[in-house]
Structure 1
Amino acid sequence: MSPRAADPHIRTLLVEAAARILAEEGPAALTSRRLAIDIGTSTMTVFSRFRNMAELHSAVREEGFSRLNSRIDELPATDDPVADLVATGSVFFASGVDNPHLYRAMFLDPPPEEDALGAGTYERLLDLVRRCLAAGRFTDGQDNLAPVWAAQLWSMRHGMVTMTVSGMLPSEQARFVLDDMTFRLLVGYGDDPAHARESIERGRVHAA
C-alpha cells in the first residue's frame, strides 16, 4: 500500500480530488480507481473511508458547506446588522471563488435526494435580514418579505460567484459589481444611502 494511505488528511485529499473530477469531468469519471491514481493511494484506502461513490459525492457537498459555514462562524457579530449581512456576502463570494470545485458540487450540480445541506446556510442569511428589519434599517417591508429579500441576496451572491469561477468576470470586477448591487438592494429595502455605504465598507473590513 502506498505510504500516503497513512496520511491523517487522506479523507480531505479524497474529497478534494473527487470535487475536482466531478467539476471537470462529471459523475461518470468518479471511480475508486481514478481517485486512487489521482492522490497516489489504493482503492482499498478509498473504500476504508467511503462505502461507495454516492457517499463520497455527499461528502464533497458536506465539505463545501462545512468550509463555508466555518468562515461565516469566524465573523464577529456586531451592533451593525447590515455590516454583518454584507460581511457574510463577502465571505460567501470568497469561499466560492477559493473553492470552485466544491462550490459546483454545493450549488450547481443536482443534490442527492433528501439533501438539505444548503437550508442551514439560507436560514443564517434569513436571520440576518430579520435583524436588519428589527433594527429599523430596512423600513420598506415587513417580516413576511424577509424570505424574499434573503432569496434576492442569495441569488445575487450566487450569480457573482458563478460568473467569476466560469471566467466571465475577473474577481475584482465581480466584487465591485457585488458591492454596487448590494448597495442598491439595501436602499431598495429602505436603508439610508449614507448608512448603507458605511455598512458595506464596514462589512468588507470585517470579512477581510
Structure 2
Amino acid sequence: MARPRTNDEEVGERLLAEAGRVVATEGIAALSLRALADAANTSTTAIYSLFGGKDGLLLALYTQAFEGFGGAQRAVAETDDPITDLAALGIAYRDWALANPNLFRVMFSGALPADDPTCSVAARDTIGPLVAGVGRALAAGVLSGDHETIVISLWAAVHGFVTLELDGLLPAADPDASIHAVLKAAVSGWR
C-alpha cells in the first residue's frame, strides 16, 4: 500500500507564504530552508519534494507574485472610457498590493531571478493592461504624448503612492481619496 502524500498544495502555499514574508521583511539572505520548514510546520523534504529546492521555491514565489498581480490587472473590465479604465487599473494595482504586501515587495525587491525567462514573461505581462490602456487613450485622442513615457509616468505615480502607503510613510489622512487625486493628476498631465 502506497503512503499517503503529505506534501500537498496546502503545504506548498504555507511554504510560499512564509518565504514571501521572509524575503519581503528580511531579505533573501535570511531565507533558511530549515527555518522556513519549521515556520510552515513541515520538513525541508517538503521543499525539495514540491519545489526541487531553494531555487525552485524562489522561482515559484516570484511567479506567484507576478501572476497574481497580473491577474488583478487583467481582471479590470474595459469600458468605453479609457481614462476611467486607466484609473481602474491604478486602483486595482493598489488593492492588490494592500491585500498582498509581501508578494508586492517580493516583486520589486530585485532579490529574485528576473533574468529567468519564465519570470521575465510573467513580469512583462503584468504591465500589458496599462500599455494597452494608454494605447486606447492615445487612439481616442484623450491623451497625447509618447506612449512609453506616459506608461512609465502613470506606473511610477501609482507605484510610488502604494510603496509609501505600504511603508507607513504616506502622510495622507484619507488614502482612498488621495489615490484618486494622484491618478487624476497623473492622467491630466498627458491631456
Q: TM-score range by the shorter chain?
A: 0.7 to 0.9
Report whether the alignment pairs 1:23 with 2:28: no
> Which TM-score applies when normalising by structure 1?
0.80
Give a deviation string over 1:14-68, Cα, whole Å, max 9, x none.
1111000112222222122111101111111111011221221222121111111
Q: Which amino acid aligns with 1:65?
A: F
What is residue 128 of structure 2 aligned with on the other side? 123
Q: Structure 1 counterpart of 2:164, which letter?
A: M
| Cα distance in 2 for residues equivalent to 1:123 and 1:48 | 34
Question: Which residue of 2 is the match for residue 196 of structure 1?
Answer: none
5+ long unaligned stretches in structure 2: none
Shift in alpha-carbon separation, 1:131–1:182, aligned structure 2, 3 A: same
- The Cα offsets for residues 76-96 of structure 1, whole Å up to 9 and x where unpaired, read as 221111111111110111111
| 2:9 partner amino acid | P
How far apart are residue 10 of structure 1 and its match?
1.9
Q: TM-score, normalised by structure 2?
A: 0.86
1:173 aligns with 2:174: yes
User: What is the distance in 2 between the residues matched to 1:161 and 1:88?
Assistant: 13
Question: What is the CA RMSD across the aligned residues, in angstroms?
Answer: 2.2
Partner residue, 1:146: 147
Greater fraction helix: 1
Using the TM superposition, give the Cα deviation of residue 111 of structure 1 relative to its aligned residue in structure 2, in angstroms. 3.8
Partner of 1:78: 79
In structure 2, the residue matched to 1:136 is 141
Deviates more, 1:117-126 or 1:88-97: 117-126
Partner of 1:159: 160
- How many residues end up aligned between the 2 structures? 184
Higher relative contact order (CA 8 A, sep 6+): 1
Cα distance in 2 between the residues matched to 1:91 and 1:109: 22
Aligned to 2:106: 105
Offset, 1:154? 0.7
Asked if the contact 2:34/2:43 (under 8 Å) is kept, the reply is yes
Q: 1:162 to 1:73 in 2, by over 3 A?
A: same
The residue identity in structure 2 corresponding to 1:98 is A
Deviation, 1:119, is: 1.4
Structure 1 position 172, deviation (Å): 6.5
Q: Residue 22 and residue 111 in structure 1: after superposition, are their counterparts in 2 closer, same or farther (change >3 A)?
A: closer
